[in-house]
Structure 1
Amino acid sequence: MWFFRAREIVEFARQIEQKGQQFYRAMAEQAADGRVKEIMLALAAEEKEHEALFTRMLDGLENYNPPETYPGEYEEYVRVLLDAHVFAKDIKPGEIACQAGDPQKALDMAIGFEKDSLLFFYELRQLVPEQERSAVDKLIREEQKHILRLAGQKKVLA
């Protein structure tokens, strides 16, 4: 039995990318180190590219209107799922920017956030009909590429 359609997962991904952009921009504003600021702005730009890709993916996916036992039930459920994701939490970028004072720590933090996204999509993948999983697999591959890029940047700075 499945609970989500691929379109919903792609929409979750798009919203996570929006939150990521906001977070990385706020981190850049708070960064004291110029390299950390540069890295955070680059990450925000990459999140924007992912958001655009995921928005384009929505065009080919079927709409889904799940049954509700009361108005707004499904939206409430989706909000709870998204709030459990690290970018959706009420994070104070200024406080975290202090923790990510050097580029290595900033990249470690970003890799951690991207891993959370990967885990989120892996979990949701099992709740999508088999014939629609390829769309979720595409999201997963994009997040994996992002982690590899971050790891590459980390090696360059080492």
Structure 2
Amino acid sequence: MEIQDQENIGKKGFNKDNAITKPIALDQATGEVQVRKSTGKVKIRKGQSEEEYEKQLDHFFNIEKGPTVTEVNWMDNQDALNLLNTNDEYDITIKQTRQKLTSFCERYYYQRRYEECLTLSQKLLEIFEPLNTKNKMNRELDELRYMIDHCQKNSNHENVVILES
């Protein structure tokens, strides 16, 4: 900790964890810098060459098509099953894509649209299970199974209530 920081410790609103620590450049050519973490440990961050930066920038804007802007309630205007069947844009090997599709199920579930949730969850489970070769997707699959189970219970419960009325 620097001398200025030690003098400020007792002052109101000062916390050693909030002290500004500037990175110390180690190598201008590679861009390596030394930074101090909040725990006090020193960490060396590897740099990025101008060439690597340009490649990353090109990939972001030309391949990923830049930052995505989503409208409010965009999911209400989409049919998830139709999207899944017709759109080749959804690469299910990418986790973000799987999460986006699973979020449709969650939305249906919380809107109490259990039949739609059940149908989509079963379809996604059928598609996702072959990808789970190293058990990395267990949580995702467990969540889908949970929704399938609860949608079946809730849709049966609704049918019983309607029949009793």
When the two structures are superposed, what TM-score results if normalisation uses the length of structure 2?
0.33
Larger Rg: 2
Q: Could you say which structure has the greater relative contact order, defined with CA pairs below 8 angstroms and 6 or more residues apart?
A: 1
- Which structure's residues are more often helix, by fraction? 1
- Which structure's residues are more often strand, by fraction? 2
